[in-house]
C-alpha cells in the first residue's frame, strides 16, 4: 500500500473536500430541477405558479458553485506553494547550514559556534560538554555586547591542553548581568543537512550533529 507524505496527504484531503462539495452541489441541482419540472407539469394553467422562489433558489445554488470554484482554486495554489517549498527544502540536502542550535561538531581540531545576547551582560562563558554532560572545556571572558552575534572558535583541547577526539558536543553559554542574573541568549551552530523530515505536515531539517531545525530558522547556507 502506498503511503502518502504529509504534503500529498494534504493534497488528497483538499481534493476530497472539493469533490464532496461538488458532488453535493450536483445532487442539489438535480433535486432542484426534479422539483421544478414536477411543479411546472402539475401547475394550474389558470393560476401559474410564482417563479420568484425558484429564481431565488437558483441564485443561491449559483453562489454556492462560485464559492466551491474559488475554494478549489485556492486549494490548488496552496498545494503548489507547498510542493515548491518541499523542493526547496530537499535542495538543502548535503549543504552546510547555520541555525539556532547548541550542538557543535569538532573536526580537524576545531569547532565553531556563535551566540547573541538579548540583554546587557557583565560576564560570558562557554562550557563544552560531552555526551554524559561532563565539562570538557570552559572558555571565559567572551564578548558581552548584546544585539550582535559573537563567533567563538574552540581549539578542540581540554583544560590541560590535550586534544579532544573529534565528535559532536553540546555548548552551553553562561551569560550573567551585574547582579549575577542569567541573560537570555541564542546559540548558533553549523551542521550538514542529512535528511528532510515532516512533523505534522511541517518540514524539519535533520543535521549531522543530531540537531533538528526548521528551514525558517536558517541564518545562512553554504
* Contact by Cβ (8 Å): 125, 174: yes
Cell triple for residue 24?
453535493
Higher pLDDT, 29 or 184: 184
Give the single-character DSSP code of 46: T
pLDDT at 120: 92
Band (218; pLDDT cuts 50, 70, 90): very high
* Cβ atoms within 10 Å, residue 152: 18
Q: Quote the CA–CA distance of 42 and 48 in Å, as a whole number.
A: 10
pLDDT at 125: 97
| Secondary structure (DSSP) of 189-211 | EEEEEEEEEEETTEEEEEETTS-
Average pLDDT (111-134) is 95
Q: Quote the CA–CA distance of 211 and 203 in Å, as a whole number.
A: 14
* Contact by Cβ (8 Å): 164, 156: yes
Cell triple for residue 16?
476530497
pLDDT at 81: 45
Alpha carbon 195 to its chain's center: 14
Give yes or no for residue 160 having a pLDDT over 90. Answer: yes
Least confident of 44-48, 120-124, 146-150, 158-162: 44-48
Band (101; pLDDT cuts 50, 70, 90): very high
The pTM of the full predicted model, rounded to 2 decimals, is 0.62
Give yes or no for residue 5 having a pLDDT over 50. Answer: no
What is the widest separation between alpha-carbon atoms in the chain?
110
Cell triple for residue 54?
425558484
Cell triple for residue 63?
453562489
Q: Domain extents for the chain?
A: 6-90, 96-221
Give yes or no for residue 86 having a pLDDT over 90. Answer: no
Of 42, 39, 41, 71, residue with least CA distance to 54: 39
In which residue are the cell numbers 411546472 written? Answer: 40
Give yes or no for residue 49 having a pLDDT over 60. Answer: no
| Secondary structure (DSSP) of 104-161 | EEEBTTBEEEEEEESS--SEEEEEEE-TTS-EEEEE-S----BSSEEEEEE-SB-TTS
The residues that bridge with 176 in the sheet, in sequence order, are 123, 182
pLDDT at 16: 60
pLDDT at 193: 93
Fold assignment, 96-221: Immunoglobulin-like (2.60.40)
Amino acid at each position: 500500500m502506498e503511503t502518502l507524505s504529509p504534503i500529498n496527504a494534504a493534497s488528497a484531503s483538499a481534493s476530497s473536500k472539493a469533490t464532496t462539495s461538488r458532488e453535493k452541489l450536483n445532487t442539489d441541482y438535480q433535486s432542484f430541477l426534479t422539483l421544478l419540472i414536477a411543479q411546472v407539469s402539475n401547475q394550474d394553467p389558470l393560476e401559474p405558479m410564482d417563479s420568484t422562489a425558484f429564481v431565488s433558489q437558483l441564485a443561491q445554488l449559483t453562489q454556492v458553485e462560485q464559492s466551491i470554484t474559488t475554494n478549489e482554486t485556492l486549494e490548488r495554489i496552496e498545494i503548489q506553494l507547498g510542493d515548491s517549498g518541499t523542493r526547496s527544502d530537499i535542495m538543502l540536502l548535503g549543504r552546510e547550514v547555520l541555525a539556532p542550535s547548541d550542538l557543535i561538531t569538532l573536526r580537524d581540531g576545531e569547532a565553531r559556534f556563535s551566540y547573541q545576547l538579548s540583554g546587557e551582560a557583565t560576564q560570558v562563558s562557554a562550557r563544552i560538554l560531552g555526551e554524559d554532560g561532563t565539562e570538557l572545556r570552559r572558555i571565559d571572558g567572551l564578548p558581552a555586547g548584546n544585539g550582535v552575534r559573537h563567533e567563538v572558535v574552540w581549539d578542540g583541547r581540554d583544560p590541560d591542553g590535550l586534544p579532544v577526539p573529534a565528535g559532536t558536543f553540546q555548548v552551553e553559554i553562561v551569560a550573567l548581568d551585574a547582579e549575577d542574573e542569567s541573560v537570555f541568549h541564542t546559540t548558533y551552530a553549523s551542521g550538514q543537512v542529512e535528511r528532510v523530515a515532516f512533523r505534522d505536515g511541517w518540514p524539519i531539517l535533520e543535521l549531522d550533529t543530531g540537531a533538528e531545525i526548521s528551514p525558517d530558522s536558517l541564518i545562512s547556507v553554504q
